[in-house]
């Protein structure tokens, strides 16, 4: 039976959810918004109340540190994110951050003396809302994104990452974010599944073996505008009609990729001038495309590319194609996978090995140190929506497994 102090963790999840740009039950906390800054302050205060030291790096990744008795040994780390896309729920990322804090507090209260340090990381901008790229903090930590690439990022209002991070009190060169080799002994992330499998099969703990390969691209389409009454259909270079065909092509390429795991989503469509009696001349599309099978994903992407260029030529629409990211999948460390499984089984929980279809900061931490993920069930698999829900009991089980892993790893 779990020993997690449910009331403390549950109360904190509610408190953090109240720091939102949209009213409950929705949660919206976009990178470096007023809410994100308040959430960071709130988390820092909770960590200090528990007796931990807190530091931040130049991109705003927060580190809650518990020093070990042998401080020269690489620490063991856990963590996730507290930023939330518009109209999201309370649990995505938060369970890993507050659950990680709870696991550290429980170990401390039980008198555990870690040999190597234990660190909780709150990663900057796991969500792509502000700059169009997810996992910004962990990408910089892994060196996957260079300081120059990050420095060139602009949000929809044209504000740069440097301007926003400096206003948020995150100073220093972005190059300093990159972790040195061997900086961590291990990284273990607790997260809600964001899919229905665990709940449907009534499994307590999902043990992630592989994280799907995500990619995203932006298309800027330029046609010719004109009067909706006066320009005949055959004369048109309607940028939105090209966009509509591209969206269907994305769906077809995902459905026919040969892999049942391919998913494609056209999540952003902006049409200009956006007047009912004016032919669309400019369209921005943003497309998210993923698979556990990298080759199948890349074949489907090539098909979308060929089809898009052909249909744009046919329609007389110009196209600019910007790759936002095209990442390989990540494999979790087999030794850590076994450890998570053993801890869950020892606690009497049912388990299943699985893949993560969503991406996480673990995708990039896996490039830096042995990494594993602990999944817990969530209601109907709902996520990125206000009715996202994981029960206190499900969260407590995840925290229990995480705590036992951190305990053992911190003594190795």
Q: Which residues bind ligand GLV (CB under 6 A)?
A: 127, 134, 358-359
Task: Give 286's strand partners.
Answer: 218, 268
Decide whether 2 or 362 has the Cβ nearer to ligand GLV.
362
Cβ–Cβ under 8 Å, residues 264 and 287 = yes
> 337: buried, middle or exposed (CB in 10 Å: 19+, 13-18, 0-12)?
buried
Cβ–Cβ under 8 Å, residues 261 and 292 = yes
274 by DSSP, 3-state: which? coil
> 176: buried, middle or exposed (CB in 10 Å: 19+, 13-18, 0-12)?
exposed
Residues in the chain: 412
Residue 163 is labelled as binding a ligand:
no
Nearest distance from C-beta of residue 359 to ligand GLV, angstroms: 4
Decide whether 83 or 400 has the Cβ nearer to ligand GLV.
83
Decide whether 93 or 225 has the Cβ nearer to Mn ion.
93
Mask of contacts with Mn ion, 244-283, x by CB under 5 A? ----------------------------------------
d(CA 60, CA 293): 32
Residue 22 is labelled as binding a ligand:
no
Nearest distance from C-beta of residue 209 to Mn ion, angstroms: 18
Nearest distance from C-beta of residue 92 to Mn ion, angstroms: 4
Residue 359 contact among ligand GLV, Mn ion, none, beta carbon within 5 to 8 Å by kind: ligand GLV
Is 89 one of the binding residues for Mn ion (CB under 5 A)?
Answer: no
Decide whether 341 or 388 has the Cβ nearer to ligand GLV.
388
Residue 227 is labelled as binding a ligand:
no
- Residue number of the CB atom closest to ligand GLV: 358
Nearest distance from C-beta of residue 270 to ligand GLV, angstroms: 20
Strand segments, DSSP code E, in 112-238 are 118-122, 184-192, 205-211, 213-222
Residue 81 is labelled as binding a ligand:
yes
d(CA 46, CA 402): 19
Residue 191 is labelled as binding a ligand:
yes
> 244: buried, middle or exposed (CB in 10 Å: 19+, 13-18, 0-12)?
middle
Nearest distance from C-beta of residue 406 to Mn ion, angstroms: 20
Q: Judging by DSSP bridges, how do beta strands 351-356 and 205-211 pair with one another?
A: parallel
Residue 382 contact among ligand GLV, Mn ion, none, beta carbon within 5 to 8 Å by kind: none
Nearest distance from C-beta of residue 135 to ligand GLV, angstroms: 8
Residue 32 contact among ligand GLV, Mn ion, none, beta carbon within 5 to 8 Å by kind: none
Cα–Cα distances (Å) from 212 to 93, 108, 262, 297, in that order, read 17, 35, 9, 10
Is 93 one of the binding residues for Mn ion (CB under 5 A)?
Answer: yes
Is 92 one of the binding residues for Mn ion (CB under 5 A)?
Answer: yes
Decide whether 114 or 398 has the Cβ nearer to ligand GLV.
398
182 by DSSP, 3-state: which? coil
Cβ–Cβ under 8 Å, residues 203 and 352 = yes
Decide whether 187 or 359 has the Cβ nearer to ligand GLV.
359
Nearest distance from C-beta of residue 285 to Mn ion, angstroms: 21
Decide whether 65 or 88 has the Cβ nearer to ligand GLV.
88
The span of 5-13, 91-99, 312-320, 331-339 binding Mn ion (CB under 5 A) equals 91-99
Secondary structure string (H, E, C) spanning 83-145: CEEEEECCCCCHHHHHHHHHHHHHHHHCCCCCCCCEEEEECCCCCCCCCCCCCHHHHHHHCCC
Token pair 């400096």 in the structure block, residue:
166
Binding-site annotation, residues: 81, 92, 127, 191, 384
Q: What residue numbers does the annotated binding site for Zn(2+) cover?
A: 81, 92, 127, 191, 384
Which residue ranges make up the site for Mn ion (CB under 5 A)? 92-93
């Amino acid at each position: 039976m779990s020993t997690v102090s449910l009331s403390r963790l549950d109360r904190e999840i509610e408190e953090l959810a109240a720091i939102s740009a949209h009213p409950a039950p929705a949660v919206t906390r976009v990178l470096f918004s007023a809410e994100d800054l308040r959430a960071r302050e709130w988390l820092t205060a909770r960590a200090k109340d528990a007796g931990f030291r807190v530091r931040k790096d130049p991109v705003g990744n927060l580190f809650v540190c518990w020093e070990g008795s042998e401080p020269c040994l690489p620490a063991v780390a856990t963590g996730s994110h507290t930023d939330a896309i518009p109209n999201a729920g309370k649990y995505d990322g938060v369970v890993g951050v507050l659950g990680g804090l709870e696991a550290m507090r429980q170990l401390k209260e039980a008198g555990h003396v870690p040999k190597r340090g234990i660190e909780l990381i709150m990663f900057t901008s796991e969500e792509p809302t502000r700059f169009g790229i997810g996992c910004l903090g962990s990408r910089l930590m892994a060196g996957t994104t260079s300081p120059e690439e990050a420095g060139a990022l602009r949000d929809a209002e044209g504000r740069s990452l440097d301007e926003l991070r400096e206003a948020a009190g995150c100073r220093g060169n972005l190059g300093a974010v990159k972790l040195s080799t061997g900086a961590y002994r291990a990284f273990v992330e607790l997260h809600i599944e964001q899919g229905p499998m665990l709940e449907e099969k009534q499994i307590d703990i999902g043990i992630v073996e592989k994280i799907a390969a995500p990619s995203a691209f932006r298309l800027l389409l330029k046609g010719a505008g004109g009067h909706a009454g006066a320009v005949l259909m055959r004369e048109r270079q309607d940028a939105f009609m090209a966009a509509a065909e591209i969206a269907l092509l994305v769906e077809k390429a995902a459905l026919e990729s040969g892999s049942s795991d391919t998913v494609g989503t056209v999540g952003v469509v902006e049409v200009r001038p956006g007047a009912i009696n004016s032919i669309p001349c400019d369209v921005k599309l943003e497309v998210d495309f993923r698979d556990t099978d990298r080759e199948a994903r890349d074949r489907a992407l090539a098909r979308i590319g060929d089809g898009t260029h052909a249909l744009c030529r046919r329609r007389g629409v110009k196209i600019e194609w910007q790759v936002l990211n095209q990442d390989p999948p990540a494999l979790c460390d087999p030794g850590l996978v076994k450890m998570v499984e053993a801890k869950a089984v020892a606690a009497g929980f049912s388990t299943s090995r699985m893949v993560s279809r969503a991406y996480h900061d673990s995708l990039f931490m896996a490039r830096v140190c042995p990494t594993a993920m602990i999944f817990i069930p969530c209601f109907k698999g709902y996520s990125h929506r206000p009715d996202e829900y994981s029960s206190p009991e499900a969260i407590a089980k995840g925290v229990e497994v995480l705590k036992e892993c951190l305990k053992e790893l911190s003594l190795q």
